Amino acid sequence: MISDNEPWSSDESQTVIERYEARLRKYGFGEEALGWGKKGRQQLRFSVLASHWDLRGKTVLDLGAGFGDFYEFSKQLHLREYVGIDLTPGLVAAGNKKYGSNQGFSLKLGSATDESLFEECDVTVISGLFNFRLNSGRNREFINTVLGLAYKYSSLGVACNFVTDRVDFKDPLMHYQSPSDVLDIAYGCTRNVTLRQDYMPFEYSVFLDRRDHFAPESAVFSHLGWEK
In 75-178, where does DSSP find H-type helix? Answer: 89-99, 139-153
Q: What is the pLDDT of residues 143-187, one digit of tens each?
A: 999 999 999 999 999 999 999 999 999 999 899 999 999 999 999
Q: Cα(14)–Cα(12) distance, rounded to whole angstroms? A: 5
Does residue 127 carry a pLDDT above 60? yes
Using N-to-C axis directions, what is the helix angle for 179-187 and 139-153, rounded to 10°?
A: 40
Query: Spelled out in words, what is the top-level CATH class assigned to the domain 10-224?
Result: alpha beta
Q: What is the pTM of this model?
A: 0.89
Residues forming beta bridges with residue 163, ordered by sequence position: 203
Extents of the domains making up the chain: 10-224
Closest CA to 29 of 20, 16, 38: 20
Closest CA to 28 of 85, 75, 82, 98: 98
